[in-house]
């Protein structure tokens, strides 16, 4: 039994005639008879009574017509769904983002994406860079944007824009008003850090180590899981911290926080678009990647 045989069988059932069934399916009447006969031989049951009033369905034919109609409808539904999928219409895209991309970069890209593909539904999963990459490997998301690369088998990275990481203090801190502070002073100051899987935290530790600071000498007073929590803690006087420039611009403009320069050291990182190596992206994922690259791939490094 194959799809063509079922289509021909249904055409005869719906028209009540082998000749009309042939016209409906654009084949000869003899070919129609061959297809119906093949089905009858396969099931060893008559499917039509050939009468002077035309081809009438037997009880077995009625049962097959019921199932064949469902099969053909599902097949046509699958064809339509794949055509919509190819055009990113009525498709669902699941992407991941570490905290800064998920809070700032991806939301900024969605209006452009949805303008091109109004029927697309996008779900954004958020977490630290390592956690989001784990979701990618488990195929819970199709693409992700992260602030740090980890050497993981099966993940390909494409660079996106730069991010400046700022040292921030509350307005009453003694460092406010100074030109800059030395790296050595950081080691003696209470610090608020992001969790271990954070791209921001990873970039800061790498930069401080390269500047000669032993991470074990840092006075880490709190480890928090989001930029918002860190900003509130710094404003409350718990300590100083390093945060993404993208996440802190409003607080700096309002004077709720103050950025302090480090003498001879600029902490920066690149964001990356991550995908599973060797896997074919859906049309919706390709469209998302294209928009992210348009917005961020050539973004220059700039301090705010």
Domain ranges of the chain: 3-86, 92-161+270-296, 163-268
Quick one: pLDDT at residue 266?
Answer: 87
Task: State the DSSP H helix or E strand holding residue 13, giving kind and residue range, or none if neither.
Answer: helix 3-15
How far is residue 35's CA from residue 106's CA, in Å, rounded to a whole number? 54
Instruction: Specify whether the CB–CB gap between 256 and 243 falls below 8 A.
Output: no
> Any idea what DSSP says for residue 211?
T
Mean pLDDT of the chain: 88
Query: 41-62 pLDDT, tens per residue?
Result: 999 999 999 998 899 999 999 9
Domain 92-161+270-296 class, CATH top level? alpha beta
Task: State the DSSP H helix or E strand holding residue 191, giving kind and residue range, or none if neither.
Answer: strand 190-194
The residue ranking higher by pLDDT, 193 or 89, is 193
What's the whole-number mean pLDDT along residues 114-125?
87
Instruction: Specify whether the CB–CB gap between 104 and 70 falls below 8 A.
Output: no
Residue 39 has pLDDT above 90, yes or no: yes
What's the whole-number mean pLDDT along residues 137-158?
91
Quick one: pLDDT at residue 61?
Answer: 93
Residue 119 has pLDDT above 70, yes or no: yes
What's the whole-number mean pLDDT along residues 293-300?
75
The residue ranking higher by pLDDT, 126 or 88, is 126
Helix (H, G, I), strand (E, B) or coil at 291: helix
Of 31-35, 83-87, 248-252, minimum mean pLDDT range? 83-87
CB atoms within 10 A of CB 91: 20
What's the whole-number mean pLDDT along residues 261-271?
87
Tally: H helices and E strands in the chain: 12, 11
What's the whole-number mean pLDDT along residues 244-254?
90
DSSP labels for 49-114? Answer: EEETTEEEE-HHHHHHHHHHHHHHHHHHHHHHHHHHHHTTSS-EEEEEEEHHIIIIIHHHHHHHHH
Q: How confident is the model at residue 20 (pLDDT cuts 50, 70, 90)?
A: very high
Token pair, residue 79, equals 């064809």
Residue 198 has pLDDT above 90, yes or no: no
% of residues, the chain, pLDDT over 90: 49
What's the whole-number mean pLDDT along residues 116-122?
85
Residue 301 has pLDDT above 60, yes or no: no
Backbone phi and psi for residue 155, each to the nearest 5 degrees, phi listed first = -120, 130
Quick one: pLDDT at residue 90?
Answer: 65
Asked if 92-161+270-296 and 163-268 have one fold, the answer is: yes
% of residues, the chain, pLDDT over 70: 95
Token pair, residue 264, equals 């001879």
How far is residue 172's CA from residue 96's CA, in Å, rounded to a whole number? 37
* Alpha-helical segments (H) within 87-214: 99-100, 106-116, 129-137, 183-187, 199-210
Residue 83 has pLDDT above 80, yes or no: no
Q: How confident is the model at residue 194 (pLDDT cuts 50, 70, 90)?
A: confident
Backbone phi and psi for residue 219, each to the nearest 5 degrees, phi listed first = -95, 80
Quick one: pLDDT at residue 247?
Answer: 87
Instruction: Specify whether the CB–CB gap between 292 and 145 falls below 8 A.
Output: yes
Helix (H, G, I), strand (E, B) or coil at 161: strand
Closest CA to 268 of 187, 210, 181: 210
Q: What CATH number does the domain located at 163-268 have?
A: 3.40.190.10
Residue 102 has pLDDT above 80, yes or no: yes
> What fold, for 3-86?
Arc Repressor Mutant, subunit A (1.10.10)
Q: How confident is the model at residue 161 (pLDDT cuts 50, 70, 90)?
A: confident
Output the pTM of the full model.
0.64
Q: How confident is the model at residue 207 (pLDDT cuts 50, 70, 90)?
A: confident
């Amino acid at each position: 039994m194959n799809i063509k045989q079922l289509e021909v069988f249904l055409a005869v059932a719906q028209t009540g005639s082998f000749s009309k069934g042939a016209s409906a399916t654009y084949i000869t009447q003899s070919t129609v008879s061959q297809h119906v006969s093949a089905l009858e031989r396969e099931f060893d049951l008559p499917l039509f009574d050939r009468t002077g009033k035309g081809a009438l369905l037997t009880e077995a034919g009625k049962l097959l017509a019921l199932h064949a109609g469902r099969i053909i409808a599902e097949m046509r539904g699958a064809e339509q769904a794949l055509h919509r999928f190819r055009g990113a219409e009525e498709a669902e895209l699941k992407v991941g983002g570490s905290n800064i991309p998920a809070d700032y970069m991806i939301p900024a890209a969605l209006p452009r994406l949805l303008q091109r593909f109004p029927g697309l539904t996008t779900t954004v999963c958020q977490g630290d860079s390592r956690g989001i990459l784990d979701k990618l490997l488990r195929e819970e998301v199709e693409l992700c944007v992260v602030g740090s690369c980890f050497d993981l088998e099966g993940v390909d990275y494409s660079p996106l824009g730069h991010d400046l990481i700022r040292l921030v203090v509350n307005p009453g801190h003694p460092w406010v008003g100074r030109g800059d502070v030395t790296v050595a002073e950081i080691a003696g100051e209470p610090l608020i850090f992001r969790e271990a899987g954070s791209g921001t935290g990873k970039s800061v530790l790498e930069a401080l180590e390269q500047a000669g600071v032993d991470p074990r000498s840092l006075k880490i007073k709190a480890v928090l899981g989001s930029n918002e929590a860190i900003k509130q803690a710094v404003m409350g006087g718990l300590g100083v911290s390093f945060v993404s420039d993208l996440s802190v611009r409003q607080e700096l403009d309002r004077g709720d926080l103050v950025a302090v320069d480090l003498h001879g050291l600029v902490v920066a990182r690149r964001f990356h678009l991550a995908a599973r190596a060797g896997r074919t992206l859906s049309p919706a994922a390709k469209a998302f990647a294209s928009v992210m690259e348009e917005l961020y791939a050539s973004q220059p490094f700039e301090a705010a």
